Amino acid sequence: MTTDHETLERIKTAALAVGVRIDVPTLASLGGADALTVHEYATTGGITLELDDDVLVNAPFDEPFCADSPLELSTVDGQLALVLGERHAPVRRVVPLPGYLDAVDVDGRPVADTAMSHADRIRVSPITGCAYDCRFCDVARVRYQPRPIEQILAGIDVALADAVLPTRHLLISGGSPAKGAAHQQAFEDVCLAVIDHVHRHDPEFEVDIMLSARPDGPEFVDRMVDAGVAGFSINLELFGEDARSVLPLKHRFTREHVGPMIERAVERLGRTARVRSLLIPGLEPIADTLAGVEWLAERGCSPVLSPFRPARGTAMASRPPVAIDDLRLILDRARTTLARHDVPLGPRCVACQHNTLAFPWDLVRYVSRPSFVSIR
């Protein structure tokens, strides 16, 4: 019997908000914590599970806030399941980590620092560190340094060849480049080299770019689309006044450029979640997050709701995670807003919904099922 959608939504929402508890026997049967997660980004640390109806969820389990979670990963009638009170959702499978975590390149650098696979996507990081100082993020504390293109392309080749976790698309992401023209051009050069390299491997292998807005945003969008980019994530994170204190440098240098860049991207790629922008419920009042949903939808851009998770070593490490009920409210009201503007909730890829508040049925009116990038 397939799990009903209401149960799947309640369970995934709880997992995204406060994580999951895993009892000792179950954790041992899964190979222990090191076999289940890599803490490389605050939004990807956790165990990734596939449930019924192609629902994926990335659930933190070894963070302090998980100890009080009402959600538990355990065995029900001989099958692994996520249990929330009287509701439970069988786990079809635990999505594995990539098979190249111990691999190094010819210069002894860990491949996973440059290219890291999540579900069905390779994430490529053109730089270490970040030019900005967002208080919730653990990337800015790392020393800023651009990576050589050769290192990036070699890492991609390893990820593409991985048999443990096959991938079907790629995201250029990570920290933001510095404001100077040379750094912006270097980032663009990496993007162009990655697109060309990947399409030589497979012309149908999609490449997306996640980046901060730029002064030349519309022109950059044109150059990337002309080169073959399939989509953009131009992230707001926070929409209201709290953005000035939570992401001070990013707000100062990019906020005025977000609108024109998004509008040009939608003009080029359409309103089917190929252009998206991430919002972080839990870091500002609900009304501000919903205002951000409205602002994005008016421009044909798909919001991606990525719930706040306190990350170790950041200025917000002690802040509590977002409340489960708040996420339910935000999801319900966001859906109403998006239906009014005829824009889907992002992301477009079903597998990439694993760490976002979205479900496959949010896309069915906008993306034909054969075009879904599925992990199967």
Mean pLDDT for 249-269 is 97
Best mean pLDDT range from 41-45, 72-76, 125-129, 230-234: 230-234
Query: Cα(257)–Cα(270) distance, rounded to whole angstroms?
Result: 19
Q: Which residues contact 373 (CB under 8 A, 6 or more apart)?
A: 120, 121, 168, 169, 206, 348, 349, 350, 351, 352
pLDDT band at 1 (very low <50, low <70, confident <90, very high): low
Say if residue 347 is preceded by a cis peptide, omega within 30 of 0. yes
Could you please report the per-residue DSSP string of 62-107?
SSGGGGG-SEEEEEETTEEEEEETTEEEE--EEPPPPTTTT-B-TT
> What is the number of other CB atoms lying within 10 angstroms of the CB of residue 244?
12
pLDDT at res. 179: 83
pLDDT: which is higher, 140 or 311: 311
Coil, helix or strand at residue 305? strand
Q: Which CATH architecture has domain 111-371?
A: Alpha-Beta Barrel (3.20)
Express each pLDDT in 103-131 by its tens digit: 998 889 999 999 999 999 999 999 999 99
Q: Is the pLDDT of residue 371 over 70?
A: no
Percentage of residues in the chain having pLDDT higher than 70: 97
pLDDT at res. 375: 40
Torsional sign, CA 63, 64, 69, 74: positive
Q: Which two tokens stand for residue 201?
A: 């491997």
Could you tell me where the beta strands, DSSP code E, fall in the chain?
A: 21-22, 47-50, 56-59, 71-76, 79-84, 87-90, 93-94, 115-118, 121-124, 127-128, 145-146, 169-172, 206-211, 231-234, 275-279, 302-305
Which three-class secondary structure string do you get for 324-373?
Answer: HHHHHHHHHHHHHHHHHHCCCCCCCCCHHHHHCCCCHHHCCCCCCHHHCC
Query: Cα(221)–Cα(231) distance, rounded to whole angstroms?
Result: 10
Q: Is the pLDDT of residue 44 over 80?
A: no
Closest Cα partner for 250 from 190, 177, 141?
177
Express each pLDDT in 157-197 by its tens digit: 999 999 999 999 999 998 899 888 999 999 999 999 999 99
- 């969820």: which residue's tokens? 57
Mean pLDDT for 246-257 is 95
- 């933190």: which residue's tokens? 60
Express each pLDDT in 201-217 by its tens digit: 999 999 999 999 999 99
Please check whether residue 319 is in contact with residue 273, taking contact to mean a CB–CB distance below 8 angstroms: no
Task: Write the DSSP symbol of residue 132.
Answer: S
pTM of the model: 0.94
| Domain boundaries defined on the chain | 5-94, 111-371
